[in-house]
Structure 1
């Protein structure tokens, strides 16, 4: 099932296809052990399980894969804001970035499938909220949004250097549904 699945499969999906009473975690652990020394490994990603090329072989095989589209700095900043602050509106993205966010940046992120329209705020104007997708988690090798690095990890990687402004913090990433957000209704494209 895992080999044939187009996306990572969760334990509940696997259990639904196996005989009742099957110990799915034990089976997954056994599969992971059996494939640990092979060219592919069983990994937990985007809330499910999938086979991926073994890390030691990935550089040799990467040449055949199409080169992913490069994101502009604005699109990368927007993606980071969406990931750490979701659900977030366009106005909130602009406030955090300190500049106007072009429609192209969000369109590109929606096109890549890393960002999705989540819902609408329960505030005047009912602005659309954005959040990340399972494709985002899968691409970046994350099991959940909470696996994004925190401030200490970002400093350790050298991504944040120098003196930080007083009160600067990296939000604790979460995928939390907010009390002031309604899900999009069917047919709502977020353009109204």
Structure 2
């Protein structure tokens, strides 16, 4: 008489390493995406940080929370496929005016850019309020000053901007083909039209700013 095979329960999830547990806690508690360098400093010499991150990513891959690269670091984010089910639960964010949105786009793609250059690109005067609002949101910062007469201030985006728009670096901003695909650019474009390639590195004619970064700094006169 044959004996029926006993049902074998599924193998439990592998126990995470101590390094992965600590890294998981550090990422979870960090107020902003945490970099590999910061993790290496906390995990100790000799720790294979990429392997630890890969271990965490594998563990979270089938869950509702995943490990994602953002703003040059790592953070936990809700799984992209769950986005439709999560809409409507959060309070409506403050909407930017059209002028502020245009200014933000110009800063993002043309950085480092001065206020005069923003006005030249937009074709209209940029109000101090628009730049003040973008500085208050923490998405725009004072980058430096041009080595030209008057020493105009240059503006650029911040890690908070990258984090909010789920970008790892400014080079991940959508290019011309992507913008067309999103329906943001329509019709025939002028010959030679191109989307600028932004850079967050210091320019040859730019000195780092001594002005305090972050909200509340205000736009220099």
TM bucket by the smaller chain? over 0.9
Unaligned runs of 5+ in 1: none
Cα distance in 2 for residues equivalent to 1:187 and 1:107: 14
The equivalences for 1:103-142 within 5 A come to 103-142=128-167
| Residues 70-123 of structure 1, C-alpha deviations (whole Å, 9 max, x = no match) | 111111111111001111000000011111111111111111110011111111
Equivalent position of 1:48 in the other structure: 73
Count of equivalent residues = 192
CA offsets 1:36-77 (integer angstroms, 9 cap, x no match) = 111100000000000011123334334332221111111111
Q: How many Å separate the matches in 2 of 1:71 and 1:152? A: 25
- Residue 88 of structure 2 aligns to a residue whose secondary structure is helix
Q: State the partner residue of 2:22.
A: none
Contact between 1:86 and 1:176, CA under 8 Å: does it hold in 2?
A: no
| TM-score of the two chains, using structure 2 as the length reference | 0.82
Assess if the C-alpha contact under 8 Å between 2:139 and 2:159 holds in 1: yes
Contact in 1 for aligned 2:108/2:157 (Cα 8 Å): yes
User: What is the RMSD computed on CA atoms of the aligned residues?
Assistant: 1.6
Question: How far apart, in 1, do the equivalents of 2:133 and 2:211 lie?
Answer: 23
Which of residues 21, 25, 31 in structure 1 aligns to 2:56?
31
Residue in 1 that maps onto 2:35:
10
Q: Is the 8 A contact 1:45 1:141 kept in 2?
A: yes
Q: Which residue of 1 aligns with 2:220?
A: 191
Compute the displacement of 1:168 (Å). 1.5
Q: Does structure 2 conserve the Cα–Cα contact (< 8 Å) formed by 1:117 and 1:131?
A: yes
Q: Structure 2: 5+ residue runs without aligned partners?
A: 1-25
Normalising by structure 1, what TM-score?
0.94
SS of the aligned residue for 1:120 comes to strand
